[in-house]
Structure formats: structure tokens, C-alpha cells
Amino acid sequence: MSERSDARMERFAERVRDQLGVPVSLVSLVQADQQVFPGMCGLPDPWASSRSTPLSHSFCQHVVTTGEPLVIEDARLVPLVRDNLATIEIGVVGYLGTPLTDDHGHVLGSLCAIDTSPRQWTERELAILHDIATDCSNELRLLLARLDADRERERRDAIDDQLQDLLHRSQQLLTVAEVLNSCRSLDDVRRALDRFSDPRAGLVEMRLRLADDSPRLSESAHLVMVEDVDAPGSPLDPAERAALRRRGARSVAWLPLFGSGPLLGYVELLWDVPHRVDSRERPMAAALAAYTGQALERAILIQNRIDVARELQTAMLAPLPHGTGLDLDACYLPAMSEEQIGGDWYDAFVLPRGEGASVVVSVGDITGHDLAAATVMGQVRAMLRQAAWDAPDAPPSAHLAGLELACEAFDIPASGTAVLARLAPVPGTRRWQLTWVNAGHPPPLVVEPDGGSGLLTDHDMMFGHPELALRPRTDHTIELRPGATVVLYTDGITDDSSSDRDEQVSALVDLVGRTRAGGAGAVVRALADRFVDMPDDVVALVLQVPAEG
């Protein structure tokens, strides 16, 4: 997008100005050497007229660099921006900015509120700005998608102009391009090709063949044609000819597929009549190969990233301890959608130190997804363990505070939600004491031995932003009777768009109530059956106090 005014962006700037009560608000998109304002309110001239500033006048560039909100009470006192020309020439003093992102999480710019006087921004104001920024990011994504679609249409229109005599094939190619552009897996590519045979032209089948599965073909990086599989001198051996005849083929061609590197595979085209790919068809064949090659490379890349993220995440989820005195079980179910894989974890370990042996459990969800989130998740999980081990008698809130301090000290970009709890037997009884701290995470579920249930709803803000905390984290304690069941879980269980959260929690309570008699393992198996193939990762950790008798 450019500096031209956009009515939708202007409305977002007006919402910020009105809801936060600031004199200046901007939708700022940061480019290589400037920032532009498709939406703005209250900016003075000459900046208002040009709807842009050089980066020497930009606070928003720091939001793009960090990918995090930037909160400044008085810019004149902050080394990061006190010499910025926005402070000196425009008069920016109080600044609150939050990232605007595209579909891939890349930060495009900042939605910001600006005050010309020092201002203490509240957590509520940051939440308001975040909500507006979410809407603004969604609108930007739509605009960018339209721009991408426009560029794609222009390219396809050029092909149409060159291939007027092959109108039917060019129209088919447009459909192929649209479908292949949406492919995210090898199966998607195969299904797309299956759709685009052309019986009117004798083209009865299109099939994807990978290079690893085609050793003979992989020797050629060019179009391979067999005009008549039964003709004398055909390069096919008898078994290959027989296999093609069984598929109704009289002619076959293989289009090599490339992405940005080596040969990836072929599109196999079968005709039920002898056929030659002539000079009129070659441009169409080349375009089909290009689209398919891009889709295939994208699918392979996505699958590799999914596999790495899943393997990394699974490898970092250590086995649960035995001999704790509790019945423990857990599951991790990767998301059906590849974009949602990566940040969830569970953990349980024994602390044999301090005043008495205890069991520490945690469940959490790192902000973001994919391999980066899985990596951060592993660091956070290990650091929580270390914090608990170093201070076994400290409460869970202290361990979580230690995590935040360590992340800040080592510049680890970790934020998210978590429940951290310690369980210890109550001396002289069969009860267990549960002490926990909740950092913005879905509330744990407790099902009593008599079937009564409740959510442990007390919570504090998510971790990773200690500078925004208004009060220290709070520990909470209850006693669990023999036979009590506790379920810790991530939001993949309760964020199903097919029903509201209350219904999802009710379904969870019902499932646990029906299966708890079989122990923690039975509950986990039921959860795994119920919540497989969800849009988001699902993690559940179930613990049960042994029943009396």
C-alpha cells in the first residue's frame, strides 16, 4: 500500500483517536526508507499533506523491528527515541503502538496512539489498541490479498492474449492456477491435477509423479513425449506399455517440475488417442508445469516445516514421571491446520528437594506457531523446570517470575499463557494440596469424587510482559480429596468455532465425568478421540488422586 488515503484505514485511525482520547493516531506502514499513513488523524503539516515521513521521524519502525507493542510515557526520557526527529520536530511525547501483521506474521507497520504530553498508558488502553489493530491487520490482509490476486490476474491475462487460439485450454489453465495456488499439501496438488483432464481433447488423466518415484524420468529435465505407446521404436519397455494400456492411454507426456532448485517431479499426461504436444500446446504445458512446480515446492516446504515442528515439539515433551503417588497421563494432538502447530506444551516432574517431595506440573501455550514457537516452547519448559529445581520451597508464582526475568536477561522472545502447579501430599491424610498460578491460561477443571465439578478461574495476565503487570502474580491453594481428577489443557479444546465456550467446557466436564473411573489414562484416551484434528494444537494433562479403599 502507498501513502494514499484509504477509507477503511482512516476509520481505524478514528477509532483509536476516539476510544483512547488522543490528539494523533496513525495507521503506519513502514517501508525501506519511509513510513506512510493510509489512515491518520491529527497529524500536523507538512507531514499530513505528504502522508509520510522518513524513518528518521519514525517510532513505528521499532515496533516492526521487535514485533512487539511499544509503550512510551515520555519520549524525551527514553534513550531509544529521545533523539528521534518525531520527538523533536513533530512533538511526539506519549506513544502507544502495536504491530500490524500480514498472513505470515510479518510486521507491516504499527497502529499507534500519540499524545503531545507525557502519558501513562493503561493495560486497558493497550487491550483496546490491540483489538483495533487485530481488525486493522485483517483488513490489511484482505487488501494485500486483493493486490496479489490483481497481479496474478494480470499475468494470466497476458497468457490469454498470447493464446487466443487456445481459449479453452487457457481458461482451464486459469482454473488450474487458482486451485494450485491454494494447495498446501501433496494430496492437494494431486487432487488439483485430477480435476483438470480434458476428455474433449483426448486428455484423460493428469497425475503427479515425484522425482524419487521416477528413476528413469529423473534423468531428463525436459519434456518427455511418447506419441504412440504401441508404435515400433517406443522407448517404453513391455511392462510400461501394458500398464499404460490398462489405464486407457495411447499417448503419454511427462512435464518436468521445478521450483527454485533441482527437479521435483513430473506431471504425467495421458491421452486416449495418439497425440503430439506441438508448438501451440507447449506454452500451455510450460505454464502448467510452472504453476504445478511452485505448488509442489510450497507443499514440500510446508510439510517439511510441519514435520520438523512436530518432531521438535514431540521430542521436547518428556515422558511423565512414575512413582509420584498420583495417576498422571497426558496427550499432545497436533493441529489439523499446519499454521497452528508449534507452541503448546505439558510437563510434570518430581521435586525430591526442599521441605518434602512434591510433583510440579505445567501446561502452556507460546504466542505464535510453527518451528519458532516450538523452539521457544522448549526453552520455556526447560527454564520453568530449572526455576522450580533451584527454589523447591518457593511458590509457583516465584518460578514464573524467575522465567520472565531469565527470558528478559537472555533476550528470549517468550510470551504466552500457562498454568504452573505444585502438588504435595497433606501429612496424615490421603489428600493432596494443589498450589497453582495461572498466567492468562484456560482454567483447570477439577472433578470431585462425588461427581461435582468446577473451574479454577483465578488467574493473572499472560507471561512475557512483566512491564505491563499491575500487581504481583497470585498463588492459589486447594486440597484435593482422594479420587479427585484435575485436567489442565490448552485453548485448542475450548476454541472450537462450531460451538461457544460454555458448551465446550460443559462437554469437557461431561467427558471427564464419564471416563474418570478408568483413571487418568482413560480420560486422556477419551480426550484424544474427541479432540483429534482440531484447528489448533490440543494439549491435556490429567492427574488423579488415588481413591480411598
Contact 513, 451 (CB under 8 A): yes
**Is the separation of the CB atoms in 422 and 456 below 8 Å?**
no
Render pLDDT for 17-28 as a digit per residue (tens, 0 to 9).
999 999 999 999
* CA 402/CA 383 separation, integer angstroms: 9
pLDDT level of residue 64 (50, 70, 90 thresholds): very high
184/89: higher pLDDT: 89
CB 353 within 8 A of CB 392: yes
Cα–Cα nearest to 406, from 424, 386, 391, 421: 386
Task: Give the count of beta carbons closer than 10 Å to the beta carbon of residue 189.
Answer: 25
Distance CA 418, CA 160 (A): 54
- Cα separation of 113 and 127, whole Å? 13
The model's pLDDT over 467-486, given as tens digits with 9 standing for 90+, comes to 887 789 999 999 999 999 99
Of the candidate CATH numbers 3.40.50.620, 3.20.20.70, 3.30.300.90, 3.30.450.40, the domain formed by 7-149 belongs to 3.30.450.40
pLDDT of residue 515: 96
pLDDT value for 191: 87
Task: Give the confidence band of 494 by pLDDT, cuts at 50, 70, 90.
Answer: confident
* Beta-strand pair 251-258/358-366: unpaired
What region does 483 belong to: left with phi over 0, alpha with psi -120 to 50, or beta? left
Q: Are 515 and 526 contacting, i.e. CB atoms less than 8 angstroms apart?
A: yes
- pLDDT at position 544 is 97
What is the reported pLDDT for 436? 98
Q: Is the pLDDT of residue 206 over 80?
A: yes
Strands (E) located in 10-106: 24-30, 34-41, 52-54, 70-72, 94-101
CATH topology classification for 163-304: Beta-Lactamase (3.30.450)
C-alpha cell recorded at residue 407: 527470558
Domain boundaries, the chain: 7-149, 163-304, 317-544
Minimal CA–CA distance to 360: which of 405, 419, 415? 419
Looking at residue 178, its pLDDT comes to: 84
Instruction: Name the nearest CA neighbour of 377 among 409, 337, 410, 417.
Output: 417
Burial class (CB in 10 A: 0-12, 13-18, 19+), 495: middle
> At residue 362, does pLDDT exceed 90?
yes
- Phi/psi class of residue 51: alpha, beta or left (left: φ > 0; alpha: ψ in -120 to 50)? left
Q: What is the dihedral of CA 459, 461, 466, 470, to 10 degrees?
A: -80
Q: What is the pLDDT of residue 229?
A: 87
pLDDT digit string (tens) for 527-549?
988 887 777 788 999 999 999 86
What is the model's pLDDT at position 342? Answer: 63
Q: In terms of pLDDT, which residue wins out, 321 or 212?
A: 321
pLDDT for residue 408 is more than 60: yes
Write b or e for each residue in 321-357: b if 16 or more Cβ atoms lie within 10 A of its Cβ, otherwise e.
eeebbbbbbbbbbbbeebbbbbbbbbbbbebeeeeee
Q: Which three three-digit cell numbers place residue 273? A: 488417442
- Nearest to 419, CA basis, from 540, 319, 324, 546: 540
Cell of 462: 499472560
Q: Do domains 7-149 and 317-544 have the same CATH topology?
A: no
CA-based Rg of the chain, rounded to a whole angstrom? 30
Q: How far apart are the C-alpha atoms of 403 and 465, rounded to whole Å?
A: 11
Task: Work out the pLDDT band at 9, boundaries 50, 70, 90.
Answer: very high
Q: What is the pLDDT of residue 112?
A: 96
Query: Is the pLDDT confidence value at 300 over 70?
Result: yes
* 114-144 residue pLDDT tens: 999 999 999 999 999 999 999 999 999 998 8
**Higher local confidence (pLDDT), 414 or 304:** 414
- The answer on pLDDT for 57 being more than 80 is yes
Query: What does pLDDT average to over the chain?
Result: 88
pLDDT of residue 25: 96
Range in 15-24, 190-199, 403-412 with the lowest mean pLDDT: 190-199
What would the mean pLDDT of 169-186 be, rounded to a whole number? 79
Instruction: Please tell me the distance from the alpha carbon of residue 490 to that of residue 534, in angstroms, as a whole number.
Output: 12
Residue 93: the pLDDT is 96
Q: In terms of DSSP bridges, do strands 344-351 and 107-115 run parallel, antiparallel, or are they unpaired?
A: unpaired
The pLDDT score that the predictor gives to residue 81 is 93
User: Strands 224-226 and 203-210: what pairing?
Assistant: unpaired
Reported as a pLDDT band with limits 50, 70 and 90, residue 14 is very high
Q: Name the band, by pLDDT with cuts 50, 70 and 90, for residue 179.
A: confident
Q: Does domain 317-544 sit in CATH 3.60.40.10? A: yes
Amino acid, res. 263 = L
For residue 541 the three cell numbers come to 494433562
Q: Where are the alpha helices (DSSP H) in 43-166?
A: 47-50, 60-66, 85, 123-162
The pTM of this model reads 0.52
